[in-house]
Structure 1
Amino acid sequence: MKKHIHICLILLSIAVTQAQNSNTNIDLKTTIIPPAKVNKLTGDSYLIDFGKAFFGTIQLYSNKPQTDSLIIHLGEKLNDKNGVDKNPGATIRYQKIVLPQLTANTLILPKLTADKRNTTGAAIQLQDSIGVVMPFRYCEIENLKIPITELQIHQKALHHKFNDEASAFSSSNKILDSIWELCKHTIKATSFTGFYVDGDRERIPYEADAYINQLSHYSVDSLYTMARRTNSYFIENPTWPTEWLLHTVPMFYTDYMYTGDIEPLKRHYKNLKLKTLMELERADGLISSSSPNLNAAYIQKLGFKKADTKIKDIIDWPPAQKDTGWKLATLEGERDGYEIVPVNTVVNAFYYYNLKLMAEIATVLDKKEDAAFFKKKAKNVKTTMNTKFFNSDRGYYTDGEGSTHSSLHANMMPLAFGIVPKEHVKTVTEFIKTRGMACSVYGAQYLLEGLYLSNEAQYALDLITDTKGDRTWWNMIEVGATMTLEAWDVKYKPNADWNHAWGTAPLNITTRYMWGIKPKTAGFKIAEIQPQLANLKFSNIKVPTMNGIIKASFKKDKKTHQYIIEIPENMSAEFKVPLINLKGRHNGKKIKPKQQIIILNSGNHTIDLKQ
Structure 2
Amino acid sequence: MTKYASLIFFLIVFFNLNAQNLDEQFDLKNTFIQPENIIQINDGHYFIDFGKAYFGTIEITSKESQSDSLIVHLGEKLNGVSHIDRNPGATIRYKRAKLNALTANIPTSPKLEPYKRNTTGAAIRLPDSVGVIIPFRYCEIENLKVPIESITIRQKALHNKFNDKASSFSSSNKTMDAIWEMCKHTIKATSFTGYYVDGDRERIPYEADAYINQLSHYSVDNEYAMARRTNAYFIDNPTWPTEWLLHTVLMFYTDYMYTGDIVPLKEHYENLKLKTLMDLERPDGLISSQSPNLTKALVLKLGFKKADTKIKDIIDWPPAQKDTGWKLATAEGERDGYDIVPVNTVINSFYYYNLKLMSEIAGFIDNKEDVIFFNKKAKKVKETINTILFDSEKGIYIDGEGSTHSALHANMLPLAFDLVPEEHIASVTKFIKSRGMACSVYGAQYLLEGLYKNGEAQYAARLITDTTGDRNWWNMIKSGSTMAMEAWDVKYKPNTDWNHAWGTAPLNVITRYMWGITPKTAGFSVAQIKPQLGDLSFSSIKVPTKVGFINADFKKNKNNTATYYITIPNQMTAEFIVPEKSKKVFLNKKRIKGNKASFILEGGTTSIEIIY
TM range (shorter): over 0.9
**How big is each residue's C-alpha offset from its partner over 1:497-536, in whole Å with a ceiling of 9 and x where there is no partner?**
0000000000000000000000000000000000000000
Q: Which residue of 2 aligns with 1:129?
A: 129
What is the CA–CA distance in structure 2 between the aligned matches of 1:586 and 1:318, rounded to whole Å? 46
What is the CA–CA distance in structure 1 between the aligned matches of 2:318 and 2:137, rounded to whole Å? 28
What is the CA–CA distance in structure 2 between the aligned matches of 1:11 and 1:300, rounded to whole Å? 14
Note the 1:202-601 alignment, pairs <5 A: 202-310=202-310, 313=311, 315-316=313-314, 319-322=317-320, 323-558=323-558, 559-601=560-602
Q: CA deviation at 1:42?
A: 1.9
Note closer, same or farther for the CA distance 1:213–1:316 as it changes in structure 2 (3 Å cut): closer
Q: CA deviation at 1:352?
A: 0.1
8 Å Cα contact 1:240/1:315 also seen in 2: no
SS at match of 2:42: coil
Note closer, same or farther for the CA distance 1:591–1:536 as it changes in structure 2 (3 Å cut): same
- TM-score, normalisation: structure 2: 0.97
SS at match of 1:380: helix
Amino acid at match of 1:320: P
SS at match of 1:608: strand
What is the CA–CA distance in structure 1 between the aligned matches of 2:71 and 2:109, rounded to whole Å? 14
8 Å Cα contact 1:582/1:593 also seen in 2: no
Note closer, same or farther for the CA distance 1:398–1:317 as it changes in structure 2 (3 Å cut): closer
What is the CA–CA distance in structure 2 between the aligned matches of 1:64 and 1:353, rounded to whole Å? 63
SS at match of 1:570: coil
**How big is each residue's C-alpha offset from its partner over 1:33-89, in whole Å with a ceiling of 9 and x where there is no partner?**
110111111222111000000001110011112222211100001112431111000
What is the CA–CA distance in structure 1 between the aligned matches of 2:344 and 2:429, rounded to whole Å? 20
What is the CA–CA distance in structure 2 between the aligned matches of 1:161 and 1:208, rounded to whole Å? 23
What is the CA–CA distance in structure 2 between the aligned matches of 1:406 and 1:453, rounded to whole Å? 21
8 Å Cα contact 1:219/1:511 also seen in 2: yes
**How big is each residue's C-alpha offset from its partner over 1:218-269, in whole Å with a ceiling of 9 and x where there is no partner?**
0000000000000000000000211100000000000000000110000000
Amino acid at match of 1:30: N
What is the CA–CA distance in structure 2 between the aligned matches of 1:50 and 1:140, rounded to whole Å? 11
8 Å Cα contact 2:316/2:440 also seen in 1: no
Q: CA deviation at 1:16?
A: 2.1
Q: CA deviation at 1:12?
A: 3.3
SS at match of 1:342: coil
Amino acid at match of 2:79: N
SS at match of 1:497: coil
8 Å Cα contact 1:11/1:305 also seen in 2: no
**How big is each residue's C-alpha offset from its partner over 1:324-372, in whole Å with a ceiling of 9 and x where there is no partner?**
1110011011010000001100000000000000000001111111110
**How big is each residue's C-alpha offset from its partner over 1:145-165, in whole Å with a ceiling of 9 and x where there is no partner?**
222111110000000000000
Could you tell me which runs of 5 or more consecutive residues in structure 1 were left unpaired when the two chains were aligned. none
8 Å Cα contact 1:296/1:309 also seen in 2: no
What is the CA–CA distance in structure 2 between the aligned matches of 1:533 and 1:321, rounded to whole Å? 34
Q: CA deviation at 1:22?
A: 4.8
Q: CA deviation at 1:23?
A: 4.1
8 Å Cα contact 2:398/2:406 also seen in 1: yes
Q: Which residue of 2 aligns with 1:608?
A: 609
Q: CA deviation at 1:316?
A: 4.5
Amino acid at match of 2:371: A
Amino acid at match of 2:110: P
8 Å Cα contact 1:197/1:203 also seen in 2: yes
**How big is each residue's C-alpha offset from its partner over 1:286-332, in whole Å with a ceiling of 9 and x where there is no partner?**
0022211122111111111013234xx35346742221111001101
Q: Report how many residues are paired.
A: 603
Q: CA deviation at 1:99?
A: 1.3
Q: Which residue of 1 aligns with 2:15?
A: 13
SS at match of 2:24: helix
SS at match of 1:250: helix
SS at match of 1:315: coil
The alignment yields a C-alpha RMSD, in angstroms, of 1.2
Q: CA deviation at 1:580?
A: 2.6
Q: Which residue of 2 aligns with 1:185?
A: 185
**How big is each residue's C-alpha offset from its partner over 1:142-185, in whole Å with a ceiling of 9 and x where there is no partner?**
11122211111000000000000000000000000000000000
Note closer, same or farther for the CA distance 1:77–1:410 as it changes in structure 2 (3 Å cut): same
What is the CA–CA distance in structure 1 between the aligned matches of 2:507 and 2:302, rounded to whole Å? 32
What is the CA–CA distance in structure 1 between the aligned matches of 2:543 and 2:9, rounded to whole Å? 42
What is the CA–CA distance in structure 1 between the aligned matches of 2:119 and 2:542, rounded to whole Å? 37
**Which of 571-580 and 8-17 deviates more?**
8-17
8 Å Cα contact 2:9/2:308 also seen in 1: no
Q: Which residue of 2 aligns with 1:159?
A: 159
Amino acid at match of 1:372: I
Amino acid at match of 1:202: E
SS at match of 2:461: helix
Q: Which residue of 2 aligns with 1:146?
A: 146
Q: CA deviation at 1:547?
A: 0.4
8 Å Cα contact 2:214/2:227 also seen in 1: yes
What is the CA–CA distance in structure 1 between the aligned matches of 2:258 and 2:485, rounded to whole Å? 27
8 Å Cα contact 1:11/1:304 also seen in 2: no
Note the 1:111-126 alignment, pairs <5 A: 111-126=111-126
- TM-score, normalisation: structure 1: 0.97
8 Å Cα contact 1:242/1:314 also seen in 2: no
Could you tell me which runs of 5 or more consecutive residues in structure 2 were left unpaired when the two chains were aligned. 1-5
**How big is each residue's C-alpha offset from its partner over 1:1-28, in whole Å with a ceiling of 9 and x where there is no partner?**
xxx9x952344322323xx125422110
**How big is each residue's C-alpha offset from its partner over 1:196-224, in whole Å with a ceiling of 9 and x where there is no partner?**
00000000000000000000000000000
8 Å Cα contact 1:569/1:603 also seen in 2: yes
8 Å Cα contact 1:543/1:549 also seen in 2: yes
8 Å Cα contact 2:72/2:110 also seen in 1: no
Amino acid at match of 2:501: A
What is the CA–CA distance in structure 1 between the aligned matches of 2:85 and 2:602, rounded to whole Å? 54
**Which of 42-51 and 517-526 deviates more?**
42-51
8 Å Cα contact 1:240/1:314 also seen in 2: no
Q: Report sequence identity in percent.
A: 67
Q: Which residue of 1 aligns with 2:3?
A: none
Q: CA deviation at 1:101?
A: 1.9
8 Å Cα contact 2:315/2:340 also seen in 1: no
What is the CA–CA distance in structure 2 between the aligned matches of 1:22 and 1:494, rounded to whole Å? 31
Amino acid at match of 1:321: P
What is the CA–CA distance in structure 1 between the aligned matches of 2:372 and 2:295, rounded to whole Å? 29
**How big is each residue's C-alpha offset from its partner over 1:529-561, in whole Å with a ceiling of 9 and x where there is no partner?**
000000000000000000000000000023210
What is the CA–CA distance in structure 1 between the aligned matches of 2:114 and 2:317, rounded to whole Å? 29
